[in-house]
Amino acid sequence: MGDDSDKRCVFCAIIGDEVEAEIVLATDDLLAFLDVRPVFKGHVLLVPRSHVETLPDLPAASRDGFLAAAQRLAMAVKDGLGAQGSFVAINNTVSQSVPHLHLHVVPRTKGDGLRGFFWPRVKYGPDEMGQYAARLRAALT
Ligand code: DGP
């Protein structure tokens, strides 16, 4: 474990070899292992070895490698497990049960029963869509 690791963090404990996990990919900066409570078998979690909590906390220098590994895992669930595709997601703070950045790669196949994670959908009111877009554009400038 590096100096920036959090000793109470279960993913840091996996990275530090103190908690067992089924590792599927290991690089100098990243680790990917099977989720112990998979949505479907083969559900992988990708984590940076450095303890950062959420995606916005990931240093710029780590972004490329992180996304490249996510691409490799998305291909691996197809090539290795026969999935037709995957669902790739990150919970940031809300619904994030482990406060160490982790990207889910869930193998998907048509008819697997998962319907868009059963996300509720809402409707914009009149003019509201433009207002939301403007607020986001302002935050992005
Ligand atoms: P999230 O809800 O996005 O924070 O996902 C956290 C995931 O981490 C959840 O699907 C279960 C998984 N998980 C929690 N503890 C452990 C563990 O000790 N080992 C492994 N392999 N996965 C874990």
Q: For residue 78, how many other CB atoms are within 10 A of its CB?
A: 15
Cα of 129 from ligand 1 centre, angstroms: 35
| 116 has a pLDDT exceeding 80 | no
Average pLDDT, the chain: 92
Cα of 36 from ligand 1 centre, angstroms: 6
Residue whose CA lies nearest to ligand 1 atom number 8? 35
Q: For residue 61, how many other CB atoms are within 10 A of its CB?
A: 8
- Determine what percent of the chain is predicted with pLDDT higher than 70: 93
Cα of 131 from ligand 1 centre, angstroms: 36
Q: Model's pTM, two decimal places?
A: 0.91
pLDDT category, 1, cuts 50, 70, 90? very low
Does residue 15 contact residue 47 with C-beta atoms inside 8 Å? yes
| 30 has a pLDDT exceeding 70 | yes
| 5 has a pLDDT exceeding 60 | no
pLDDT at 90: 97
Does residue 98 contact residue 10 with C-beta atoms inside 8 Å? yes
Write out pLDDT tens, residues 57-115.
999 999 999 999 999 999 999 999 999 999 999 999 999 999 999 999 999 999 998 87
Closest ligand 1 atom to residue 97 Cα is 4
Please choose, from the candidates 139, 55, 52, the residue with its C-alpha nearest in 3D space to the C-alpha of residue 92: 55
